[in-house]
Amino acid sequence: MSVQPITNLGPTDSSLYTTKSNAFVGKDEFLKLLITQIQQQDPLNPQDPSEFTAQLTQFSNLEQLISLNSAMQDLQMLQLSGNNAQAANLIGKNILYEGGSVQVTGGAPGALYVAAPGMVKDVTVNIKDSGGSLVRTIQLDHLDGGIGSIQWDGLKSTGDPALDGNYTFTVTAVDAQGNSAAVTPLSFGRVSGVSFENGLTYLNVGGEKVPLSGILSVREPS
């Protein structure tokens, strides 16, 4: 008796080989394909054992990758929860962060905090109001490396006192070789709240949204 090889699968079986664009084949679908292939193989020409072993190995690797991906997602969620809890503990604390803003209250300005990569010289500080107009320029011979502060007396270039409000400042300087040095303007303020947007955590400080990565130091309120 001759046995004819199976060359046509029924509609139900052939549907197992149908793929959709951009569809992900999971381990269950992969296993169904493998079982169907074994069931429909030609008895006179069975599946090559080496190829069958390779397919089983692929299935094992697929299952491990899916499990690893699930574990990474759980770890990411755990880390995000930890960041959120840490951020909530910062409410009411004073923080120093990358920004370059200073507030004048009652005619008294706060300190202008900066971070220098090393000792720099020929320092120029330009202070602007909320409208972007230049209010005052301060010249310094040098700044030491690290985080420091520059004092502003709260007066404009005209000698008039600056009005209460928010101001911004920029700093330019050169290093010992005369090359431009990157001096980072900083801001100082109290955390009033926390917000979460698109998986990121921000601290609310004086109307600004500060990412956790921008914090340089945290201090208890005096």
Q: Specify whether the CB–CB gap between 93 and 190 falls below 8 A.
A: yes
- How many whole angstroms from its chain centre is CA 60? 34
pLDDT at 113: 94
Fold exhibited by the domain 94-219 = Immunoglobulin-like (2.60.40)
Q: Specify whether the CB–CB gap between 174 and 117 falls below 8 A.
A: no
Going by C-alpha positions, the residue among 71, 26, 35 that lies closest to residue 56 is: 35
Q: Specify whether the CB–CB gap between 95 and 189 falls below 8 A.
A: yes
> Residue written as tokens 């020409």?
45
pTM of the model: 0.59
Q: Specify whether the CB–CB gap between 92 and 218 falls below 8 A.
A: no
Q: Residues 6 or more apart from 209 whose CB is under 8 A from it?
A: 195, 202, 203
> Residue written as tokens 């840490």?
86
Q: Specify whether the CB–CB gap between 100 and 149 falls below 8 A.
A: no
Mean pLDDT of the chain: 78
Query: Is 71's pLDDT higher than 70?
Result: no
The ranges assigned to domains in the chain are: 11-87, 94-219
pLDDT confidence bin for 81, thresholds 50/70/90:
low
Q: Average pLDDT of 85-114?
A: 89
Spatial separation of the C-alpha atoms in residues 177 and 20, rounded to whole Å: 63
pLDDT at 173: 96
Comparing 8-17, 45-54, 73-82, the range with the smallest average pLDDT is 8-17
**Tens-digit pLDDT profile for residues 22-61:** 455 556 676 676 677 666 665 556 555 566 556 556 666 6
Give the residue with greater pLDDT, 32 vs 81. 32
Query: Is 21's pLDDT higher than 70?
Result: no
List of E strands, 71-145: 94-98, 101-105, 108-109, 112-116, 120-128, 134-143
pLDDT at 152: 94
DSSP assigned state of 155? B
Q: What's the distance, Cα to Cα, between the start and end of the chain in Å?
A: 98
* Rg value, the chain, Cα: 33
Give the residue with greater pLDDT, 8 vs 156. 156
The tokens describing 88, both together, are 């909530």
Query: Is 12's pLDDT higher than 50?
Result: no
pLDDT confidence bin for 165, thresholds 50/70/90:
very high
pLDDT confidence bin for 198, thresholds 50/70/90:
confident
